[in-house]
Amino acid sequence: MNYRISLLASLFLLSYLELVGQLAFSNLKGQLTVQFSAKAGNKRSFFVSLPPTYSRTKKHKLVVVFPGTDTRGKAMKAFVGDGWNDDGLEANMSNAIFVYPDPKWRYFADWKSTNGGWLLGPHGGAAAGMEDIHFVGELLDWMIKKYAIDTARIFATGHSWGGDMTAVVGCFLGNRFRAIAPVAANRPYWFESGNKPLNCSGAPAVWTFFSTQDEHFEGQEPKSGDFGKAQNAFWRSKYACRSTFTILDIEPYGESVEYVNCTSTVRFTLYSPDFSGESDMPGHQPPDFYLREVPRWFNSF
């Protein structure tokens, strides 16, 4: 009898501690501000979204989503996390924690403008700098400390300037990420350093998305889609891919391919505008199937 009471008491205590832990962690979601190191920009903010079934007793995937120009993390959650068609990344990857970092607003002298955007590493031209790379590294450390995260399954995606940053962390912090999916990123000038190959770390799988009619880059590309092709060429070279590829069974058929015999997975989608939300530049927006297929791909790892 005493044994049964002791067992029941232990089970009650475990349940109580789990509840207390869940309540404590319920305060660590939504818009947060944390003090990081000076090299990471000191106080930085970000938005955390936990899955409905979050538990400290189970490891979860982590997805970092980088906003585009003048966009904060909370707005990025509404855009792609929740989805413009109410079927966003989070609904299609319900087993993952999502974090949406806020860019800093800075004055960019070469552009004579103040923008919310990302510093893109040592070769970032007008947006050169290491602060945001340090920030992402420290943010990952903080997330791992505070949440139950599977460190072998950390992913990144982002749109426009956030697509740039996705590619940049895939190179300079590549040992921290399992796979990345940059969308509508600029020409990959942030990977150019004379004729010397970049010393990227790690080997995350990469899926590059770019439109055949991206209005944001009109007049900058020799031909529509060339910026996306240039970024894809970087990853194909880095991972020693052959020129041959297989067409992925993704609608619309023929727009998405995966290269063969690469040292890490390389995919490329050159898509016709397929954005059902509201925008004056629909060709610059992610295609509708991005919200479905990228979570499916991330979940495959």
For 102-146, how does the pLDDT look when each residue is reduced to its tens digit (9 = 90+)?
A: 999 999 999 999 999 999 999 999 999 999 999 999 999 999 999
Per DSSP, the three-state class of 182 is strand
Which pair of tokens denotes residue 203? 């080997």
| Per-residue pLDDT tens digits for 191-202 | 988 767 688 899
Dihedral angle computed from the Cα positions of residues 143, 90, 116 and 163, in that order, rounded to the nearest 10 degrees: 100
Give strand ranges (E) for 129-242: 149-159, 179-183, 205-211
Average of per-residue pLDDT across 11-17: 43
Q: Could you tell me if 117 and 106 are in contact, meaning their C-beta atoms sit under 8 angstroms apart?
A: yes
**pLDDT of 238-253, one tens digit each?**
999 999 999 999 999 9
Separation of alpha carbons 204 and 194, rounded Å: 24
The answer to whether residues 264 and 286 touch, using CB atoms and an 8 Å cutoff, is no
Residue 8 has pLDDT above 70, yes or no: no
Domains, the chain, ranges and CATH? 30-299 (3.40.50.1820)
- Percent of the chain whose pLDDT exceeds 90: 86
State the chain's mean pLDDT as an integer: 91
Q: For the segment 148-159, what is each residue's pLDDT rounded down to a tens digit? A: 999 999 999 999
- In this prediction, residue 197 carries a pLDDT of 67
- 226: helix, strand or coil: helix
